């Protein structure tokens, strides 16, 4: 081996490590998050995880890039009706806009009765969940959207 090769050190040397869970899907594979001086160094499979025993699928193995890729979007993008341009808006404003649209749609389309039968629903909105939502979050989503707003079209990716 060359002297240079002998002196090579692992990129995680001296780094602190935190145990975490892959953010992508409901399998919940274990990850080790290496960081040094407040900077993310690497994210790798956790050998101690009883779920994945150190393995990560291609999505999980790319979690480091999910955080650090220069093309990662960090602001909410908004394209106004009939516009061909995207604009950055802050997340507070975006959440207000979503809430206003949800409430407006519900107000305009909620049906209390149909053909003499009680209906209490709207089919004008749908909800598509993400796979990392846990059972408590799904319970709250179901409670809010079905019981609270009367939505019937609700789906969640977590079918594993």
Residue 52 or 122: the one with the smaller Cβ distance to ligand SF4 is 52
Nearer to ligand SF4, 49 or 122 (CB): 49
Task: Give yes or no for residue 25 binding ligand SF4 (CB under 6 A).
Answer: yes
Which residue, 25 or 154, has its beta carbon nearer to ligand SF4?
25
Tell me the closest approach of the beta carbon of residue 48 to ligand SF4, in angstroms.
15
The shares of helix, strand and coil residues in the chain, as percent rounded to the nearest 5, are: 30, 30, 40
**Residues binding ligand SF4: number (CB under 6 A):** 11
Closest-approach residue to ligand SF4 (CB):
60
Please provide the DSSP assignment of 49-66 as one string: -TTTTT---HHHHTHHHH
User: CA 110, CA 31: separation in Å to the nearest integer?
Assistant: 44
Distance in angstroms (rounded) separating the CA atoms of residues 42 and 143: 38
Which residues from 27-86 bind ligand SF4, rule CB under 6 A? 27-29, 52, 56-57, 59-60
d(CA 96, CA 92): 6
47 vs 98, beta carbon nearer ligand SF4: 47
**Extended beta strands in 93-150, E state:** 111-114, 117-128
Binding stretches for ligand SF4 (CB under 6 A): 22, 24-25, 27-29, 52, 56-57, 59-60
């Amino acid at each position: 081996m060359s002297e240079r090769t002998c002196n090579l050190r692992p990129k995680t040397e001296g780094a602190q490590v935190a145990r975490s869970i892959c953010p992508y899907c409901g399998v919940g594979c274990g990850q080790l998050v290496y960081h040094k001086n407040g900077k993310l160094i690497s994210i790798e499979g956790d050998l101690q995880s009883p779920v994945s025993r150190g393995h990560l699928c291609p999505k999980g193995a790319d979690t480091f890039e999910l955080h650090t890729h220069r093309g990662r979007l960090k602001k909410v993008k908004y394209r106004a009706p009939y516009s061909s341009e995207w604009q950055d808006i802050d997340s507070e404003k975006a959440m207000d806009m979503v809430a206003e649209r949800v409430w407006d749609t519900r107000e305009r389309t909620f049906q209390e009765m149909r053909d003499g039968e009680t209906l209490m629903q709207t089919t004008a909105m749908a909800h598509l969940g993400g796979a990392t939502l846990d059972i408590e979050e799904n319970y709250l989503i179901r409670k809010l959207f079905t019981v609270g707003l009367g939505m019937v079209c609700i789906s969640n990716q977590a079918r594993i």
